[in-house]
A and B are shown apart, each in its own frame.
Chain A
Amino acid sequence: MKKSLIALAVAGAMTAPMIAQADATLYGSFRMGVAETSNNGTPGSKTDGDIDVVDTSSRMGIKGDVDLGLDGTKGFFQWEAQVYGTDDADQGQSLGNRLMLIGAKGDWGTAQIGKMYHPHYLLIEAPTNVFHPGSSDFGERFNLGNTFHKRQQNTVAYISPSMNGLTFIAGAVIMGDSDDNDSSFDDGVDGYNVAATYNGVQNLTLSASYGDVDAGDVSTAAVIGVVGGVPTVTTAASTQTDFSKDVTGLSAKYTMDALELMAKYEESETDFNGANQLDENVWELAARYTTANGTAVYGRYADYEEKNASTDLEQWGLGVSQKMGNGIVYLEHVNNDSDDDAGDRTVAGYRLDF
């Protein structure tokens, strides 16, 4: 009897960690390639014909569900880090935090807190961002957030359940004094993003988003300006008071068997130092055709306009990929319509998901 109790206890002790681990999934996507890049818009960082080994957003993470002991509601968590296989100056880190969020979900919807994609990116920008290295997309310019990135920390968000195909998302950024790791903003950073998506009609998805960020006084370099042919990050002023930015976006996606058609429109206004500094918009069309054996051809066209500086830019891209199990090989070219071909880029890449 004692022996069997001991055996049971030993078995229980060995099983408990296995049960705990069973709900966590280790996942990742490693993405490397070789890129030929002309001047990328940042003076001095690239020259025509530079060929680099590039890391196109490799990442790994852990995610899973947690039993909360509630009927119809369970907890979940996700942590995802960027891992780097290159020594680019802007990628000097060995590990970068991409996502870290926890939440609960049930019939009532999903509530989550932490660092996450904001809905503007997921619903408006992501559908047309069909390329693997997406950083050269004009759409990235319209990101919200304190560092104007598609992933935002210090965020709480609620996602409604689908109601006849209609889903609402609302998120708020709450950053108190000196409790964040971003020194760009001194105090009282607040932002919000509300969005809705509708997929009640077969093969069609429509989305809309509005977001606003009030950053207070910005004391360091900020994202303003267009350099070369590409909207990019530069310093417009050393001190910007009452920095605020709002972004509105619309997107649509329609699927016809193997063909997907995507479109989006975004506009944004940026104010600081008591005046409107930037008034910009972009529209983009994208299409992707995927065969039954995993071959895909895709392309996109974007038109960017900055009214204050009378800047009008065009960008197009063409790519082809082959899916092989959990691996993808791709060849992509992005062309920026500018006199010096700034930012033109061709990437031959290899991606493995696990």
Chain B
Amino acid sequence: MKAKLRSLLVAGAVSIMLCQPSVAADVEVDPWEGFNRTMFSFNDGLDTYALKPVSQGYKAIMPDIAETGVSNFFGNLADVGTLLNNLLQGKFSNATQDFARIAFNSTFGLAGLIDVATPMGIDKHDEDFGQTFGYWGVDSGPYLVLPFFGPTTVRDGIGRVPDYLVDPVRQLDDNGARNAMYATRIINDRAELLEAEKLISGDKYTFVRDAYLQKRAFSIVDGDGENYDESNF
């Protein structure tokens, strides 16, 4: 009995010791958890009762080929920001491919509706100013959930300002057309996440936060991080 009690105490102590770094890490990356959870709940409600139903309707109504065309169109516009950020990160090979993607998809690909560049062997990249700041060593800062905009960090949130400034959609003079483009892009982006969100389990807030932070860390090093070596597990 004593032995059993002793082993339980040891197991408990070990468990506590193992848990402590995790809790400390959570506090370190998410010191504003209270605020963030409130914003997350707000966004989640907005998504549940407005954006998600609209996106589900969009996905149900749109033929797959049209849905792909819309996705390709906005992907082509996004390549403009990616090109700029690859240049700012000194990734000239990637920037060359980004330029080629924009050139070929905008012409041969009928204004970006068809992604001809990918089957031609020109890789697609995903860069933004938050990643550029991270590439040059700017720390991510605390995790932050913004109303309407969702999960980010202080660094990535600041990066959204120049992202917005170089967004090709913003260059449209016609307000109606520009807002329609914004709305379509948001719905398209949300529709693309409908399948992925089925993976969410447990505490939704923690799941989304951890997934976001991991994805950003992965993207900044273009998947070359040493943390992904299986020997680390």
Contacts and interface: CB of A to CB of B under 8 A. Distances in A.
Interface of A: 258-259, 289-297, 320-322, 324, 329, 331, 348
A322 B108 contact: no
Given A293-B97, A295-B97, A296-B100, 20 more contacts: A259-B92, A289-B92, A291-B96, A293-B122, A293-B123, A294-B121, A295-B96, A296-B96, A297-B96, A320-B99, A320-B104, A321-B100, A322-B100, A322-B121, A329-B108, A329-B120, A331-B104, A331-B107, A348-B107, A348-B108
User: How many of chain B's residues touch chain A, expressed as a range?
Assistant: 10 to 19
A292 B99 contact: no
A320 to B, nearest CB: 5
A329 B121 CA distance: 12
Contacts of A258: 92-93
B208 interface: no
Contacts of B97: 291, 293, 295
26 contacts: A258-B92, A258-B93, A289-B92, A290-B96, A291-B93, A291-B96, A291-B97, A292-B93, A293-B121, A293-B122, A293-B123, A294-B121, A295-B96, A295-B100, A297-B96, A297-B99, A322-B121, A322-B122, A324-B121, A329-B104, A329-B120, A331-B104, A331-B107, A331-B108, A348-B107, A348-B108
A162 to B, nearest CB: 32
B103 interface: yes
B83 to A, nearest CB: 11
B12 to A, nearest CB: 55
A256 to B, nearest CB: 11
A299 to B, nearest CB: 11
A258 B97 CA distance: 13
Chain B interface main SS type? helix
A295 B99 CA distance: 9
A117 to B, nearest CB: 30
Contacts of A291: 93, 96-97
A324 B108 CA distance: 16
Interface in B85-143: 92-93, 96-97, 99-100, 103-104, 107-108, 117, 120-123
A334 to B, nearest CB: 15
Contacts of A321: 100
Nearest to B106: A331
A325 to B, nearest CB: 10
A286 to B, nearest CB: 16
A258 B121 CA distance: 18
Nearest to A325: B121
Nearest to B102: A320
B188 to A, nearest CB: 27
A30 to B, nearest CB: 18
